[in-house]
A and B are shown apart, each in its own frame.
Chain A
Amino acid sequence: NAGVTQTPKFQVLKTGQSMTLQCAQDMNHNSMYWYRQDPGMGLRLIYYSASEGTTDKGEVPNGYNVSRLNKREFSLRLESAAPSQTSVYFCASSRQGEDGYTFGSGTRLTVV
């Protein structure tokens, strides 16, 4: 089983460019999440989707948008990338949040 698959694994953007990070899970999970991880800051929730058709803001949503395309896929879009968005981005999924998450392997994004 693939679990949670994130693409791309690495990306370098110029300031002002846009891009979409893709995430797909094959575990029939209801909830999906996008986090960023920065040194000394831990995991910070950007957006989450508790079920197909719903999305909610997390702790650091500014500069990001999300789309829950269907039950399997949850994408994260940066409309106009900024150097402050340089980070490692993780997608995760769960049947219910309290069951714990399965994480993807991450996308390393550098904005120059």
Chain B
Amino acid sequence: QKEVEQDPGPLSVPEGAIVSLNCTYSNSAFQYFMWYRQYSRKGPELLMYTYSSGNKEDGRFTAQVDKSSKYISLFIRDSQPSDSATYLCAMSAAGNEKLTFGTGTRLTIIP
């Protein structure tokens, strides 16, 4: 079993919909949680960063961490065609130089 599981999709939703992307993990030492966005033929870029449990909001994006369930989510409100990309979750334990990535979910927003 992988340390981080992420549904690969693909996921297609109409413009304006709320999108929910999720990852589960097994390592209880993970404390730092991130979401990366990767456009086609580009490198991943850091989108959201959360430490420990709770929510973090940035514009239309909300990152949620539930450490008790070992479950993280990314919500996108009022989705736009420009949100079409692959979204990767990533996480790390304190003092660890390496991130553990999910395999990514490919998202398409249909105009």
A residues sitting closer than 8 Å to B (CB atoms) are 4, 31, 33, 40-43, 45, 48, 50, 58, 90, 92, 94, 96-106
Contact = CB atoms under 8 A, between A and B. Distances in A.
Interface in B86-102: 88, 90, 92-99, 101-102
A97 B97 contact: yes
A35 B97 CA distance: 14
Contacts, number: 57
B72 interface: no
B46 interface: yes
Given A42-B88, A42-B101, A43-B88, A90 B94 contact: no
B88 A103 contact: no
B60 interface: no
B61 interface: no
B103 interface: yes
B44 A98 contact: no
B92 A97 contact: yes
A40 B46 contact: no
A31 B97 contact: yes
B111 interface: no
B7 interface: no
B97 A50 contact: yes
B98 A48 contact: yes
A48 B99 CA distance: 11
A103 B44 contact: yes
B96 A40 contact: no
Given A40-B103, A42-B88, A101 B8 contact: no
Nearest to B92: A98
Contact of A105 (B42, B93, B97): B42
B45 A103 contact: yes
Given A33-B98, A43-B44, A106-B42, 20 more contacts: A40-B8, A41-B103, A42-B103, A42-B104, A45-B98, A58-B98, A90-B44, A96-B97, A97-B97, A98-B92, A98-B93, A98-B94, A98-B95, A100-B34, A100-B49, A100-B90, A100-B99, A101-B44, A101-B46, A103-B43
